[in-house]
Amino acid sequence: MATVRPLHDPTALFQQLLTQAQQLPKEQMPEPTAFALATVGDDGQPSARMLLLKHADEDGFVFYTNLESRKARELSGNRKAAMCFHWAPLERQVRVEGRVTRVDDAEADAYFATRPRGSQLGAWASRQSRPMDHVGDLEARVAEFEKQFGSGVVPRPPFWSGFRLVPDVIEFWHGKPSRLHERERFERDGDGWRVSRLYP
């Protein structure tokens, strides 16, 4: 396995690590794009859940969700959030903190069009985060939308879109024996990054 090269660009370093994770066998790393997203509600209560990263570049880290979900409601009220990626076989963790913005409609439409048809129908059918009265209600709603759209194109629901977390901080952790781990913290500084090393 290639050694990660020291970089002063945290986005490039993240992409390098993600590529390494994606090259691992599925039995070792079933979902390398998985991350925990932490948000905070109006009452100050934090919540976290696992999501899948869909894109990452210099502009930020992109994920998609139902806009009526708890996470989307919390992000609408408090635009700050945090992510955590953990690639155990690599002994690597990446923490990202920053501000969240909505992706534009064209970007959301383009991504939605690439999703499997079943996932597209599921996006229409799920009343995410709301109570479900009966077992099987979700499947029944999927069937309704299958009938509605037939064999035609499934458009993006107006209540489904994406968010981009624009990082202010990206921190890299590398596990080492005897708890002599390495931590490198990148903090946004104007157009660049200020780098520091932290005790583990």
Q: What is the pLDDT of residues 138-179, one digit of tens each?
A: 999 999 999 999 999 999 999 999 999 999 999 999 999 999
Question: What gap in Å lies between CA 111 and CA 168, rounded to an integer?
Answer: 25
Q: Which CATH superfamily is domain 10-110+161-198 in?
A: Electron Transport, Fmn-binding Protein; Chain A (2.30.110.10)
pLDDT of 63 higher than 50: yes
Looking at the predicted structure, is the pLDDT value of residue 129 above 90?
A: no
Domain ranges of the chain: 10-110+161-198
Predicted model pTM: 0.91
Mean pLDDT of the chain: 94
Q: Which residues are catalytic?
A: 179
| Dihedral sign (CA 121, 122, 128, 134) | positive
pLDDT above 90 covers a percentage of the chain that reads 94
What local confidence, expressed as pLDDT, does residue 96 receive? 98
How far CA 166 is from CA of 18, 29, 101, 147, 170, in Å, comes to 18, 26, 8, 39, 10
Q: What is the pLDDT of residue 5?
A: 46
